[in-house]
Amino acid sequence: MIGQIARALKPEGQAIIALANFESLGFKLGRRVYSLKLALGFKDGKTRMPWEPPPDHTCKFDYFLLRRMVDAHLEVEEEVGVSFLFGFPWWGVFLARCPRKVYSTLLGMLDKVARRFPSLSDVVILRCRPRNGECVD
């Protein structure tokens, strides 16, 4: 898949790749809280959890898998993370109860963490170009 992207790029071209990181910190914490909840006897609602890929997805990606795939074909010029703790249970409820100034400040701080540590973020964005400015065959 990434090889096809590399072959399609002009030597000066760029590829922007963005995807959900199913091993984000929020999803990892969410899975642990959910396991604890089940261990304590709470019922399983049998609904798809945020950290489970939707049925129409054919692959489950995370930051490290994406980097291995991309590094084999393209040079990464920039990587950033977006969003933090999306999969953490009750996160939205907590934010909704915070005063606007508090949640704005908190989300601003967490956005900076996500940008610096894309492997922990909910979404990974890579800006790539062909290696050495050349098309790959």
pLDDT tens-digit series, residues 2-26: 999 999 999 999 999 999 999 999 9
| Residue 27 falls inside a structural domain | yes
| Residue 52 falls inside a structural domain | no
| Residue 96 falls inside a structural domain | yes
pTM of the entire predicted model: 0.83
Q: Is the pLDDT of residue 132 over 80?
A: no
User: By residue range, what is the domain housing residue 31?
Assistant: 2-47+60-131
SS (HEC) of the chain:
CHHHHHHHCCCCCCEEEEEECCCCHHHHHHHHHHHHHHHCCCCCCCCCCCCCCCCCCCCCCCHHHHHHHHHCCEEEEEEEEECCCCCCCCHHHHHHHCCHHHHHHHHHHHHHHHHHCCCCCCEEEEEEEEHHHCCCC
| Residue 111 falls inside a structural domain | yes
pLDDT tens-digit series, residues 81-116: 999 998 888 898 999 999 999 999 999 999 999 999
| Residue 55 falls inside a structural domain | no
**Tokens linked to 35:** 């396991």
Contact status, residue 66 vs residue 124, Cβ threshold 8 Å = yes
| Residue 54 falls inside a structural domain | no
| Residue 76 falls inside a structural domain | yes
Number of domains in the chain: 1
**Tokens linked to 20:** 């959900």
pLDDT tens-digit series, residues 19-62: 999 999 999 999 898 888 888 888 777 777 888 888 888 888 89
| Residue 97 falls inside a structural domain | yes
CATH code of the domain in which 38 resides = 3.40.50.150
